[in-house]
Amino acid sequence: MLVNGKEINFKEGITVTELLNEINVDKDRVVVEVDMEIVDRNEYDKKMLCTSSKVEVIRFVGGG
């Protein structure tokens, strides 16, 4: 699976929530795109990923 352009090995059928937990990312502070489609935050627990998935995790950054 590609996560932010890096090849990472995770089990088949991992959910978006499980992936975010594995990479230590707070699901309330990101937007997740899987195979060029943004995943609704309410679907993170249901959206299954496969080994060929291309995932982009976009983090919100504050500043000023």
The number of distinct structural domains making up the chain is 1
- pTM of model > 0.85: yes
**What would the pLDDT profile of 11-53 be if each residue is shown by its tens digit?**
889 999 999 999 999 999 999 999 999 999 999 999 999 999 9
6 to 18, 23, 39, 53: CA distances (angstroms): 17, 12, 19, 12
Is there a domain that residue 54 lies in?
yes
* pLDDT at 64 (0 to 100): 62
Question: Is residue 55 one of the residues assigned to a domain?
Answer: yes
Domain limits for position 35:
2-59
Is residue 11 domain-resident? yes
Classify residue 13: in a domain, yes or no: yes
Kindly state whether residue 64 falls inside one of the protein's structural domains: no
The CATH code of the domain that includes 42 is 3.10.20.30
